[in-house]
């Protein structure tokens, strides 16, 4: 769990001006090809202002379970802030999710389809209900597409024949044992033994994180639900004015807290390969009304989740948010993505942060949680 190594790698990539300049040229070309805004980008590279402590970048291999990875990464950062090193296993939660999806398909008589999409708040609910383990005990590579297809077929066949829930669970568990790991019933950590549920409660309580959004069609300051198909649990969000939401995200990062982010990334202006995301027109600050128009146009299924871990600026004064993605380290930023402030204002669906971050408990005395870069 050498978080500093990833931070240094990120900084070194920022300093390679020739390489990063090429990335910006490519991104500018992509923006111009979209019909506007590309020529307004000057080619200046973002300079890191601060970075929170974080665990190494993981790889969900384009799985729709990025929401699990993003939330666990945020929980890990929260523990690193208080010098408690923890590295959690997204693959364990993926197995729990697959088990429950197989049961749902069976109970539908084999009619339902496998659905692995969700929001980060759903990860907390799943973790506190089914448990979690540490990364070293449950990780590896798996062909998720093949495994998911096999599980869906098996669950459907058992459901259509009414072969019995236990028979279906035995068959699908065998498939997961062969491709993943056998399901764990005990977690050994720091000389103690836990059940997965006990370990989950030791790293994240059900009410430890709060969900925030900003939509213009509902009163600010009230709790609302979001009509989003990805939501598995019907989570409740606190609706905030856009400026206040952005201030809260920035305050959280500058005091050492990670922020879990979900928003739209399914367009050309979000380039994971270049590690950059910006709007076609960056000249003016996105307003609440413009943001709502962007949300209303969001295509279904375009949501992606990651952890916001840093702030950066370009020489022209523009602010950028640094996101830790979960698609491996093979992009130009070592797995990170720089999103312009305007992109975040326009494309954010919701964020999750701890209550400590929300109520601005000052952790800046813990200097390992905030790192300035010359």
Segment 239-276, tens digit of pLDDT: 999 999 999 999 999 999 999 999 998 777 888 888 99
DSSP-assigned beta bridge partners for residue 320: 312, 340
CA distance 373 to 309: 14
pTM of the model: 0.85
Is the pLDDT higher at 32 or at 15? 15
Instruction: Kindly state the percentage of the chain with pLDDT values over 90.
Output: 69
Pair type for strands 223-225 and 259-264: unpaired
Name the burial class of residue 162, with classes exposed (0-12), middle (13-18) and buried (19+) by CB atoms within 10 angstroms of its CB. exposed
What b-and-e string marks burial along 171-193, b requiring 16 or more CB atoms within 10 Å of the CB? Answer: bbbebbeebbbebbeebebeeee
238 closest CA partner among 216, 219, 211: 211
Give the pLDDT confidence score for residue 307 in this predicted structure: 98
The least confident of 66-75, 118-127, 262-271, 292-301 is 292-301
Q: Can you read off the two tokens belonging to residue 73? A: 């990464």
What b-and-e string marks burial along 122-144, b requiring 16 or more CB atoms within 10 Å of the CB? Answer: bbbebbbebbbbbbeebbeebeb
**pLDDT band (50, 70, 90) for residue 315:** confident
**pLDDT band (50, 70, 90) for residue 361:** low
The least confident of 107-121, 146-160, 293-307, 308-322 is 293-307
Q: Are 353 and 257 in contact (CB under 8 A)?
A: yes
**pLDDT tens string 185-226:** 899 888 889 999 999 999 999 899 999 999 999 999 999 999
**pLDDT band (50, 70, 90) for residue 3:** very low
Residue 103 contacts by C-beta under 8 Å, 6 or more apart in sequence? 155, 165, 168, 169
CA distance 42 to 25: 10
Residue 154 contacts by C-beta under 8 Å, 6 or more apart in sequence? 102, 168, 171, 172, 175
- Maximum distance among all Cα pairs of the chain, rounded to whole angstroms: 65
pLDDT at 2 > cutoff 60:
no
Q: Are 308 and 73 in contact (CB under 8 A)?
A: no
CA distance 188 to 19: 44
Give the pLDDT confidence score for residue 191 in this predicted structure: 83
């Amino acid at each position: 769990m050498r978080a500093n190594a990833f931070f240094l790698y990120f900084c070194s990539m920022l300093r390679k001006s020739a390489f990063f300049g090429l990335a910006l040229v490519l991104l500018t070309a992509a923006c111009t090809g979209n019909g506007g805004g590309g020529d307004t980008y000057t080619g200046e590279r973002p300079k890191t202002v601060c970075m929170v402590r974080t665990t190494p970048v993981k790889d969900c291999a384009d799985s729709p379970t990025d929401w699990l990875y993003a939330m666990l990464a945020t929980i890990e950062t929260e523990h690193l802030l208080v010098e408690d090193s923890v590295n959690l296993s997204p693959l364990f939660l993926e197995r729990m999710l697959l088990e429950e999806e197989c049961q749902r398909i069976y109970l539908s008589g084999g009619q339902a389809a496998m659905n692995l999409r969700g929001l980060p708040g759903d990860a907390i609910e799943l973790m506190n209900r089914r448990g979690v383990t540490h990364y070293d005990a449950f990780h590896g590579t798996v062909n998720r597409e093949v495994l998911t297809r096999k599980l869906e077929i098996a669950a459907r066949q058992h459901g259509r024949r009414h072969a019995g829930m236990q028979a279906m669970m035995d068959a699908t568990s065998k498939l997961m044992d062969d491709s993943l790991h056998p399901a764990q019933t005990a977690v050994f950590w720091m000389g103690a033994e836990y059940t997965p549920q006990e370990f989950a409660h030791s790293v994240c309580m059900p009410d430890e994180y709060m969900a925030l959004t900003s939509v213009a069609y509902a009163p600010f300051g009230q709790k609302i639900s979001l009509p989003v198909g990805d939501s598995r649990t019907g989570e409740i969000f606190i609706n905030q004015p856009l400026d206040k939401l952005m201030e809260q995200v920035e305050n959280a990062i500058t005091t050492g807290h990670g922020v879990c982010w979900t928003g739209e990334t399914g367009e050309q202006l979000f380039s994971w390969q270049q590690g950059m995301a910006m709007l076609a027109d960056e000249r003016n600050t996105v307003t609440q009304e413009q943001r709502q128009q962007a949300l209303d146009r969001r295509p279904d299924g375009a949501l992606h989740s990651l952890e916001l871990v840093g702030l950066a600026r370009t020489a022209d004064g523009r602010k950028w948010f640094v996101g830790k993605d979960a698609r491996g380290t093979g992009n130009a930023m070592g797995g990170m993505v720089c999103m312009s402030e305007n992109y975040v204002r326009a494309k954010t669906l919701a964020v999750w942060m701890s209550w400590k971050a929300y109520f601005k408990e000052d952790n800046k005395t813990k200097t390992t949680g905030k790192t300035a870069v010359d």
